[in-house]
Amino acid sequence: MKHHRTAIAILMVWVFMACACSANPAPTPTSTPEAIMTTVAPTAAATETLKPTETQVPTQTAIPTLTPTSESAGMEKLVKKLYEDKIITSTEGEYHHLDDFDEEWAQLYYYQWWYTDYSPSNFIIQADMEWESASKTANFGDSGCGFVYHTEDAGDHHATFLMMDGKVQTYRAVNNNWTTLKGGNAGRFNTPKDKAHMTLVVDNQWITVYVNEKKVVHFQDTKLQGGKLALTLASGTNKDFGTRCIMKNVELWELPE
């Protein structure tokens, strides 16, 4: 996994972000990040809620027979189920097992990501996630783990988080214009430490999120344009290590474009 790091302000204006970054600089990365971006938080008027239209999902054909390997058997079982549920339009694809992820970040209202080696347009990614906050009074709605995807630089990307307050949140940045997309409630978690299994599906500009096998989010976003895939965490506190995310059994299935 390439440890490119990028911090994005969620609720700060440009001037305050510049001060925050100089006062609390990010750790020196092992390699030069490809891009660094800060962005102004959206206003309520800019927030966009997208509702799926099931009839827009392409017609599906018969389910092909899969021949799972010992490593990919769990993912291929998931692929078959998602196809049967009409979440994805093909069972074809390529399997990748990613390295475990263990990172921490301590800058309130910022999130940071680490690129993988993959840039899938359509994909399924799942992971067993564990998280912990250094503060028992952190902003748990701003603390979480997740995925950044469809990014060519820090100014254009999508990010989906499972926050510590049990909410799934998806954000989109286009030309540094930041929008909150459709979210959902995954359930109640213990604070400041808990764990869950998260699955993100992106196929034909549809975004679907499962938490512990519960479908939490399903909507279409026509602004998905393809790009790199990364693992991310958001910090809800400046205290000590801030927010720590551990992801194990990270599996990626690249779907056809």
How far apart CA 75 and CA 165 sit, in angstroms, is 27
**216, 204 Cβ separation under 8 angstroms:** no
In tens, the pLDDT along 129-148 reads 999 999 999 999 999 999 99
Domains and CATH numbers, the chain: 7-50+62-255 (2.60.120.560)
Q: Could you give the 3-state DSSP secondary structure of residue 88?
A: coil
Whole-number mean pLDDT of the chain? 80
Residue 96 structure tokens:
């990748």
Confidence band (pLDDT; 50, 70, 90) for 3? low
Decide: residue 1, CB within 10 A, 0-12 exposed, 13-18 middle, 19+ buried. Answer: middle
User: What would the mean pLDDT of 13-36 be, rounded to a whole number?
Assistant: 34
How far apart CA 13 and CA 42 sit, in angstroms, is 10
**26, 112 Cβ separation under 8 angstroms:** yes
Residue 198 structure tokens:
């998260």
Window from 13-17, 19-23, 63-67 with minimum mean pLDDT: 13-17
Q: What pLDDT sits at residue 22?
A: 37
Confidence band (pLDDT; 50, 70, 90) for 40? very low
User: What would the mean pLDDT of 33-54 be, rounded to a whole number?
Assistant: 32
Closest CA to 187 of 170, 163, 205: 163
Q: Which residues of 161-171 are buried (b: 16+ CB within 10 A; e: fewer)?
A: bbbbbbbbbbb
